[in-house]
Homo-oligomer: A and B are copies of this chain.
Amino acid sequence: MKDRIRIKDIAIVAGVSPGTVDRVLHKRGNVSKKSEEKVLKALESLDYSPNVLASVLAYNKEWKIAALIPNEYKDSFWNQPKDGILKALQVVKDYGVTVDFFHFMENNEEEFVRQSEAILEKTYNCVIVSPIFTEQSISFLKKCDQKDIHYVLINTYLDLEDSNLICYIGQDSYHSGTLGAKLLAFGLSAGESAMICHVEELVYNSQHLIDKERGFKDYFKEHHDLGINVITGHFENPYDTVGMYNFFKKHLTKCPNIKGIFISTSRAFHVVNALKKLGISDLKLVGYDLIDENLTYLESEEIDFLINQNPFKQGYLAVINIFNFLIRKIEPNKLQHLPLDVVMKENANYYTDRQFEEMPIVM
């Protein structure tokens, strides 16, 4: 603080006024070549970095963010990105950042469009989008490009070139499949079979599921010496308990050497329920997401591993990256894959507690 270089110091060294230094720093023009040179030379010798606090205070403008993400009904998944956004906001609100939420139902395209239009009617600097509906999202984001609104995508990836995309923040589905395969493989013996099972309505995130399956199968292809056979299963309606019971009964009768199941969605707890009714308890299970029902079965060791996709961090980092981009003028990594945490009974508390997510900002 004491010996930190200020604009005033540069001005003295360069032999000009602070106003001129400011003009050079911000490329505002109206500076003679001679003065500019003097300032640049002074800058070189002084290693100046602006005081962001003073800068933000003087700038005195709002940075408005709109968040277009699904409603948090049904399970707790979408609560978490929202919580992450709100937590990050606590950190950056002094910098003039504000967030407005625009929610839509995960199966309602019209609502998505309606909300996205509502965003465009107002004036936002940035949006955080979960682009669940591909077409509608692309259309919306193109309009953002035109209006010079930058955006961060979370959870669902969209391939956008030469756009106002700040970054994508989400999971690497393929490698999470590989990871799940490795975990199961570690617990299985030669001759046993591993099943990958999609339990989902398959409304929107099918690309995720395809990638996970590919990752899972590639692992066993590369490790065929393990002697583990892979079986694929699909079950569309997680709420049809009877149907699911029959589904697993059929598969496990047909292949009694299935000793592990990888559930590619957050529905592992439904699988546990079905297996319990079947009286089966010796299967190794790997699933996704730290939602309450899964955590209960993780605690009782009926689920062995859950892969955490860090939904809280998705929201948190979305805000932080916008902050860095807008205020700190730092270009972030376009593609930010969150850690694939391996969660077990013994370390679950670290990932459910938020103590370490509640932290300071800036790269």
A98 at the interface (CB under 8 A from B): yes
Let me know if B356 and A339 touch, CB within 8 A. Answer: yes
Partner of A346, one of B175, B317, B336: B175
A341 to B347 CA separation, bound complex (whole angstroms): 8
Partner of A359, one of B56, B94, B96, B363: B363
Stretch at the interface among A136-144, A178-186, A201-209, A268-276: A178-186
Let me know if A333 and B304 touch, CB within 8 A. Answer: no
Let me know if A186 and B361 touch, CB within 8 A. Answer: no
A92 at the interface (CB under 8 A from B): yes
A53 contacts across to B, CB distance below 8 A: 53-54, 56-57, 94-95
Known contacts A62-B1, A91-B362, A340 near B345 by CB under 8 Å: no
Known contacts A53-B94, A94-B51, A187-B186, A356 near B344 by CB under 8 Å: no
Partner of A361, one of B54, B189, B345, B361: B361
Write the A257-300 contact mask toward B (1 if CB under 8 angstroms, else 0): 00000000000000000000000000010000000000000000
Let me know if B361 and A350 touch, CB within 8 A. Answer: no
A340 to B344 CA separation, bound complex (whole angstroms): 10
Known contacts A187-B187, A342-B344, then 7 further A-B pairs from the complex at CB < 8 Å, ordered by chain A residue: A53-B94, A175-B346, A182-B346, A186-B187, A324-B360, A333-B355, A341-B342
